[in-house]
């Protein structure tokens, strides 16, 4: 005989909640996950069909699985044990520290976010701010071994570099960027991580952290993940292509063996008529401190002002932005010829410097750097500079006429107050003018 049992309402709700959760976990969620997984697989197959370099399985693995794989990698465990010994801490504490670093580094790539939102947003933002041009594309890029791991190696001119390159190579591959601490701010961090970027602490001297980061980069390379790095280690403070810092390059070289797939480095040179952070960078160069103040409200105010002017047709943006792609450099060939990590860094930065696009504003800034001039004298200087640049094999992205070059290069400088209407450089803005001229001067020296 059944007897009624009285239970409090809150307990009944709790029991029903647990029952519902159990039903969903065992019966409903697996079916839903299977349905969406099948749709995702079909979408990915269509996406890979149009990409030159397919999205590798390393990117598609669940983030939790990749964190575990990295944490339990033999070299990471060995590094954790060595850290425990040197620091005098228990092994499990050292291992948890390594696992924390792994969670911080490993991205969570989403093909939907990358191609459905990221590349479209990159195209929209690039077109909103600049006239985007491709300066030079080496013909050997079409003959890269499809099984090779590709690493785009770029000079770092602006935080918009990520945006520009993401769009320009969107029809070839999904690129995994190495990004600094600036990108770890919520909610930007979640978006950037979902686009395949991995965070690095550029100034960290923690040996265990460096070992975990090195192993992640090596694993990504072994799996053929297309990566993008900025060897300079930070934004250029003087407008020139700087020397390479060998951290990430050394990780790739140290982890590579001749029986593995080749690693092909593609030099990418970026140039802008207007670097949005130019004054901040020039001030940092003067103070010799690479510490930039985070001013979100100031940035937001300028962004809203620009959008308002753009909507009203009061501005066409900030001139031209351009990227050039140099000849591929094979790691296998480089090492077989007796090359080292140091010589690889030098070769890559030289290759980048040789294909930096020459744009109107930097060219006119270089012409003005030779002293006061009338308009006719300025035209003569520009003509001489163009001939010298052509002789040096520079990638010129300029209007077809000298008058067009002068107008596109001079008007922005006058409007910003760097040059007076009498065509004389403003003395207090000399450093900023030199910042733009430096990219052209570097090609000619």
- Provide DSSP, 188-232: HHHHHHHTT-EE--TT---HHHHHHHHHHHHHHHHTT--EEE-TT
Based on the fold, state whether residues 284 and 321 are members of the same structural domain. Answer: yes
Picking from 324, 356, 388, the residue at the C-terminal end of a domain is 356
Question: How many angstroms separate the CA atoms of 291 and 336, rounded?
Answer: 40
Query: Is the model more confident about 133 or about 22?
Result: 133
Based on the fold, state whether residues 281 and 367 are members of the same structural domain. Answer: no
Res 287: pLDDT: 85
Res 234: pLDDT: 87
Q: Is residue 42 part of a domain?
A: no
Res 16: pLDDT: 66
Q: Which residues contact 309 (CB under 8 A, 6 or more apart)?
A: 315
Based on the fold, state whether residues 287 and 209 are members of the same structural domain. Answer: yes
Residue 256 tokens read as 């590579």
Based on the fold, state whether residues 67 and 208 are members of the same structural domain. Answer: no
On average, the pLDDT of the chain sits at 84
Average pLDDT over residues 256-281: 94
Picking from 303, 338, 356, the residue at the C-terminal end of a domain is 356
Give pLDDT tens digits for 101-117: 999 888 877 666 777 77
| Residue 125 in this model has a pLDDT that exceeds 60 | yes
Task: Give me the sign of the Cα torsion angle 155, 107, 164, 174.
Answer: positive
Average pLDDT over residues 75-96: 94
Res 61: pLDDT: 63
DSSP string, 254-312: HH--TTSPPEEEEEEEEEES--TTHHHHHHHHHHT-------HHHHHHHHHHHHHHHHT
Q: Is residue 77 part of a domain?
A: yes
- Give, for 362, the enclosing helix (H) or strand (E): helix 360-368
Picking from 328, 356, 384, the residue at the C-terminal end of a domain is 356
- CA-closest candidate to residue 157, choices 236, 210, 212, 100: 236
Give the CATH number, domain containing residue 344: 3.40.1130
Residue 131 tokens read as 């006239």
- Contact yes or no for 167/187 (Cβ under 8 A): no
Question: How many angstroms separate the CA atoms of 110 and 208, rounded?
Answer: 28
Across 124-128, 188-192, 258-262, 364-368, least confident range: 188-192
Based on the fold, state whether residues 129 and 262 are members of the same structural domain. Answer: yes
Res 49: pLDDT: 57
Question: DSSP letter at 185?
Answer: S
In this structure, the strands spanning 263-272 and 320-325 are antiparallel
Task: Give me the sign of the Cα torsion angle 279, 280, 281, 282.
Answer: positive
Based on the fold, state whether residues 287 and 346 are members of the same structural domain. Answer: yes
Q: Which residues of 158-190 are buried (b: 16+ CB within 10 A; e: fewer)?
A: bebbbbbbbbbbbeebbbbbbbbeebeeeeeee
C-alpha distances (whole Å) from 86 to each of 74, 75, 98, 104, 391 are 18, 16, 15, 23, 57
Q: Is residue 345 part of a domain?
A: yes
Q: Is residue 25 part of a domain?
A: no
Based on the fold, state whether residues 74 and 122 are members of the same structural domain. Answer: no
Give pLDDT tens digits for 160-174: 898 888 888 877 777
Question: How many angstroms separate the CA atoms of 330 and 114, rounded?
Answer: 28
Based on the fold, state whether residues 329 and 433 are members of the same structural domain. Answer: no
Q: Is residue 22 part of a domain?
A: no
Res 54: pLDDT: 59
Res 221: pLDDT: 92
Across 63-67, 150-154, 365-369, least confident range: 63-67
Q: Is residue 11 part of a domain?
A: no
Banded model confidence at residue 263, pLDDT cuts 50, 70, 90: very high
Question: Treating both helix axes as pointing N-terminal to C-terminal, what angle do 207-222 and 247-255 enclose, rounded to 10 degrees?
Answer: 60
Based on the fold, state whether residues 157 and 260 are members of the same structural domain. Answer: yes
Residues forming beta bridges with residue 154, ordered by sequence position: 268
DSSP string, 108-131: ---HIIIIIIIHHHHHHHHHHH-E
Based on the fold, state whether residues 281 and 414 are members of the same structural domain. Answer: no
Based on the fold, state whether residues 75 and 135 are members of the same structural domain. Answer: no
Res 32: pLDDT: 47
Query: Is the model more confident about 392 or about 182?
Result: 392
Average pLDDT over residues 324-345: 96
Question: How many angstroms separate the CA atoms of 150 and 43, rounded?
Answer: 24
pTM summary value: 0.83
Across 17-21, 65-69, 341-345, least confident range: 17-21
Q: Is residue 37 part of a domain?
A: no
Banded model confidence at residue 33, pLDDT cuts 50, 70, 90: very low
Q: Which residues contact 143 (CB under 8 A, 6 or more apart)?
A: none
- CA-closest candidate to residue 416, choices 401, 432, 431, 400: 432
Residue with tokens 């207007």: 274
| Residue 29 in this model has a pLDDT that exceeds 60 | no
Q: Write out the residue range of the structural domain in which residue 246 sits.
A: 110-356
Q: Is residue 418 part of a domain?
A: yes
Q: How many domains does the chain have?
A: 3
Give pLDDT tens digits for 399-433: 999 999 999 999 999 999 999 988 889 999 999 99
Cis status, amide bond into 330, omega within 30 of 0: no
Based on the fold, state whether residues 67 and 91 are members of the same structural domain. Answer: yes
Question: DSSP letter at 413?
Answer: H
């Amino acid at each position: 005989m059944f007897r009624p049992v009285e239970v409090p309402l809150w307990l009944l709700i709790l029991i029903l909640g647990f029952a519902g959760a159990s039903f969903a976990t065992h019966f409903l969620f697996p079916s839903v996950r299977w349905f969406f997984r099948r749709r995702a697989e079909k979408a990915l197959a269509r996406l890979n069909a149009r990409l030159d370099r397919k999205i590798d399985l390393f990117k598609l693995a669940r983030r939790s699985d990749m964190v575990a794989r990295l944490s339990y990698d033999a070299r990471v465990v060995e590094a954790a044990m060595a850290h425990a010994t040197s620091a005098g801490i228990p092994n499990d504490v050292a291992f948890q520290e390594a696992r924390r670093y792994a969670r911080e580094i490993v991205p969570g790539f989403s093909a939907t976010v990358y191609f459905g939102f990221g590349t479209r947003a990159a195209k929209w933002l690039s077109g909103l701010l600049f006239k985007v041009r491709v300066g030079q594309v080496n013909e050997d890029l079409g003959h890269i071994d499809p099984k090779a791991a590709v690493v785009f190696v770029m000079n770092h001119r602006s935080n918009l570099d990520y945006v520009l390159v993401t769009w320009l190579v969107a029809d070839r591959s999904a690129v995994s960027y190495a990004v600094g601490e600036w990108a770890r701010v919520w909610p930007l961090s979640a978006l950037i991580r979902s686009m395949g970027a991995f965070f690095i602490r550029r100034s960290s001297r923690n040996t265990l952290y460096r070992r975990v980061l090195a192993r992640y980069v090596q694993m990504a390379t072994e799996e053929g993940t297309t990566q993008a790095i900025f060897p300079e280690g930070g934004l250029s403070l003087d407008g020139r292509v700087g020397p390479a810092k060998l951290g990430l390059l050394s990780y790739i070289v140290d982890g590579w063996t001749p029986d593995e797939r080749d690693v092909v480095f593609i030099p990418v040179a970026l140039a802008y008529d207007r670097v949005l952070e130019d004054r901040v960078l020039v001030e940092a160069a003067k103070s010799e401190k690479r510490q930039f103040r985070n001013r979100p409200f100031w940035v937001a105010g300028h962004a809203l002002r620009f959008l308002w002017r753009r909507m009203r047709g009061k501005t066409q943006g900030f001139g031209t932005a351009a990227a050039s792609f140099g000849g591929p450099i094979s790691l296998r060939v480089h090492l077989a010829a007796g090359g080292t990590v140091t010589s690889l860094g030098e070769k890559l930065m030289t290759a980048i410097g040789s294909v930096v696009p020459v744009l109107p504003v930097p060219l006119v800034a270089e012409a003005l750097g030779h002293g006061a001039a009338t308009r006719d004298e300025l035209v003569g200087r520009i003509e001489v500079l163009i001939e010298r640049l052509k002789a040096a094999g520079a990638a010129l992205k300029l209007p077809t006429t000298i008058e067009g070059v002068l107008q596109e290069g001079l008007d922005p400088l006058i409007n910003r107050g760097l040059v007076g209407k009498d065509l004389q450089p403003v003395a207090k803005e000399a450093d900023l003018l030199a910042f733009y001229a430096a990219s052209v001067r570097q090609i000619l020296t």
